[in-house]
Structure 1
Amino acid sequence: MTINCKGTLIDLDTPKVMGILNLTPDSFYDGGSYEKMDDALSQVEKMLKEGATFIDVGSYSSRPGAVHISESEELNRLIPVVQKLVENFPEILLSIDTFRARVAKTAINEGASIVNDISAGNLDDEMVQTVGELRVPYIMMHMRGTPQTMKTLTHYKDVTKEVIQYFSERIAVARSHKINDVIIDPGFGFAKNTEQNFELLAQLNHLQMLDVPVLAGLSRKSMIYKTLNVTSKDALNGTTALNMVALQKGAKILRVHDVREAVECVMLYEALS
């Protein structure tokens, strides 16, 4: 199983790690930590040295109840950092965390490699067509509503079955726009309560029937720290535990704040295989 990033085939038979760089002031874990350019560059250098294959950069906070910002503000936060990262790390594989087609296109034209869309094209009618024209891999996440409304949209008869149905439809749309490399993210914490998150993780292997790589974004999320009765700052051990479960259930990419620990998790998983 491979994806094509800037002409390089990335083999996902060995799972890969995607490091998170949040450029937002209000993200749930590291909001405001990388608003200064030097801090962002230092963090990315650290994540690359620790073994991240991809760096996921976002400037629109998608945590539950996050403040909505304009497209121009998202671009103003994002593009200077993308330009500097590509300049300083020419081989970097940047994923752009956005649901807006114009933001995605601008970032890809500046040297980014992947589009990571929390809405799978549902929040911008031009997104899927744009990604098809850009010929880049497309990460599609499962979510209902928007970051501002999703906490009220958690009723499912069968969460895993409904997530699979959702992706079946969205993958078909992506294929109709000639998107070759589709990656799916079940969206832990997005329009799902803690019980549903754990149910979905336990059944994550069922998503393999869709025959596309699965990305697991569990890092320091509330399903971990609320279950353990700790804060997100103390949720690394729980994150590592659930990352191993995700790998055993077929995840091919781990999207994380803590790269070294995730890389070690993958190494131990590979030793078990």
Structure 2
Amino acid sequence: MHLRPVQFVDTPIGYEDNSVARLAGGLQWFAAYEVIEGRARRTIPVADVATLGERAAHLHAAIIAPRARLQLGERTLRFDQPIIAGILNVTPDSFSDGGKHVDDPAAAAAAGIDMAAAGATLIDVGGESTRPGAPAVWEGDEIARLVPVVERLARAGAIVSVDTRKAAVMEATLAAGAHIVNDVAALLWDDRALDVVAKSGCPVVLMHSPDPKKGGHGDGGYTNVLTDVFDWLETRIAAVVAGGVDRSRIIVDPGIGFGKTLAENLALLNGLAIFHGLGCPIMLGASRKRLIGALSNEAPVDQRLAGSLALALKGAEAGVQILRVHDVAETVQAVKIWRGLRDQSLVGG
């Protein structure tokens, strides 16, 4: 069984007790669940979830529970409203901005600091492209690209996440001042990765892909992409917790664009609220991705801002806690407008 929050409401004011529920302690409220059991789907009022048994009770509790704050040294990450993660690539071949900051750590760090000034809560730094067909990068080269940038950002007071699959890179960048590991392979690419994260105590982003050890862009063979991705992440969370990582330090990412067709990506985006049932903050990385071009006359990567903003707001509407984006200032402005609209509707009138 899976539960997806549906029938979102502007405000809980005026509803009977227990007839609406707050989504993950955030700004969204909802009145019903879509109950998914195999191929069968039905909608029930939130108040009726208690009639569905232990599995439903577990999912409901996870869906409505506020997400724990993350204390990162002197900084705190809160998840009661959407926050922005700015994407900073120091690669020669990333699909969107490869080569822009390669071999110039000072300029790369300055770009990250500009993102923070524009409203990014954290800076996600990557030193290896994970686009389809990208060549693997030797860990020594990846460390050389990342560490000087991470050191500068950390000294400037930024919260830094590092986008890497390699244990040695995790160790080096955490030592350089990074706070979070963002692993597109969900700690499966490198056999030491789970141990490194567990021993460091750092938060970790676990992203879904069909075959992490082969790059994550294969055929998923999904029966139902929404529930299949949910189940994969649920299993992976359990394994990572068993490996010594505190569950409250785990963030999940459904992996838009990794081993999914256009239709499957759209199904995930339309069903994002289901992932609150995992009980972890959700990261959404859809910025400038191929699906935007596919839906907009093959718009090139540098002309996908409007589509990226549309998907960011789709995430905000679904209660996503972290929006991972290239265009920070524009996304921050869009989310501020969305937040203003939500604040007004929540108070009613």
Would the TM-score normalized by the shorter structure come out above 0.5? yes
Residues 178-204 of structure 1 deviation map (CA, whole Å, 9 limit, x = unaligned): 333110011100111111101100000
Sequence identity (%): 35
Q: 2:86 aligns with which of 19, 26, 35?
A: 19
Partner of 2:304: 235
Deviates more, 1:167-176 or 1:248-257: 167-176
Q: Secondary structure at the match of 2:132?
A: coil
Q: Secondary structure at the match of 1:125?
A: coil
- Cα distance, 1:147–1:31 mapped onto 2, change above 3 Å: farther
Cα offset, 1:147, TM superposition = 8.6
Contact 1:3 1:181 in 2 (8 A): yes
Secondary structure of the corresponding residue to residue 220 of structure 1: coil
Return the offset for 1:85.
Answer: 2.3
Equivalent of 1:137, from 203, 215, 220? Answer: 203
Q: Are 1:93 and 2:159 matched, yes or no?
A: yes
Cα shift at 1:123: 0.7
The equivalent of 1:267 in structure 2 is 336
Question: Which structure ranks higher in relative contact order (CA pairs < 8 Å, sequence separation ≥ 6)?
Answer: 1
| Pairing 1:75–2:146 present | no
TM-score (normalizing by structure 2): 0.75
Q: How many angstroms does 1:122 deviate by?
A: 1.2
CA RMSD of aligned residues (A): 1.5
Which residue in 2 is equivalent to 1:190? 258
User: In structure 2, do the counterparts of structure 1 residues 149 and 57 end up closer, same or farther at CA, with 3 Å as the change threshold?
Assistant: closer
Q: CA deviation at 1:7?
A: 4.7
Larger-Rg structure: 2
Q: How many residues align structurally? A: 271
SS in 2 for 1:115: strand
CA contact 2:90–2:125 (8 Å) conserved in 1 = yes
2:114 to 46, 68, 74: 46
- Letter of the aligned partner of 2:338 in structure 1? Y
How far apart, in 1, do the equivalents of 2:329 and 2:200 lie?
A: 31
Gaps of 5+ in 2: 1-66, 343-349
Residues 1:157 and 2:223 are matched in the alignment: yes
Which amino acid in structure 1 is aligned with residue 226 of structure 2? T
Aligned to 1:223: 291
CA distance in 1, matches of 2:222, 2:270: 16
| C-alpha separation in 2, matches of 1:109 and 1:38 | 19
What residue number does 2:96 align with? 29
Match of 1:6 in 2: 73
Residue 113 of structure 2 aligns with an amino acid whose one-letter code is E
> Do the aligned residues in 2 keep the contact of 1:96 with 1:115 (CA within 8 Å)?
yes
